[in-house]
Structure 1
């Protein structure tokens, strides 16, 4: 089986119960193959880790000005002006 350029092959072993679950997800979840399903899971995990890193960076950053109604009104005005 030939893969598109830039794609590699990875073989994984699953217990029958997990394989059955993957097969169900493929059949009912709009995935063409189990590979598409696994790629989607990996992308979600990457996004989750990136979000966690951003949240930790934000938590470790120094405090800024408190958010109040003036800030939100200024943002609304900026959006209304288109920039």
Structure 2
């Protein structure tokens, strides 16, 4: 396994230490590895959503229709 040194501001280092103290992670390395795994999953989901969108074809709705629907969804909850 390769080693990587990372510099963090004090507040971030304290955050990592708190996660370890809570028992969420065994070490700072464990925490960073988990963050990377989460980011990898997020990137795959985003790429899949973009691909699905591109493959879905053109919408018959106008940009105004889409904006109105989004606004209604926000106001209606």
Normalised TM-score (structure 1): 0.64
2:24 paired with 1:24: no
Aligned residues: 57
Q: What is the root-mean-square deviation in Å for CA atoms of aligned residues?
A: 1.2
Q: Give 1 or 2: higher helix fraction.
A: 2
- The unaligned stretches of length 5 or more in structure 2 are 58-77
Query: SS of 2:38's equivalent?
Result: helix
**If you compute each CA radius of gyration, which structure gives the higher value, 1 or 2?**
1
1:1-80 matches, cutoff 5 A = 7-62=1-56
Structure 1 stretches of at least 4 aligned residues deviating more than 3 Å after TM superposition: none
How much does 1:27 deviate? 1.4
- The unaligned stretches of length 5 or more in structure 1 are 1-6, 64-83
How much does 1:11 deviate? 0.2
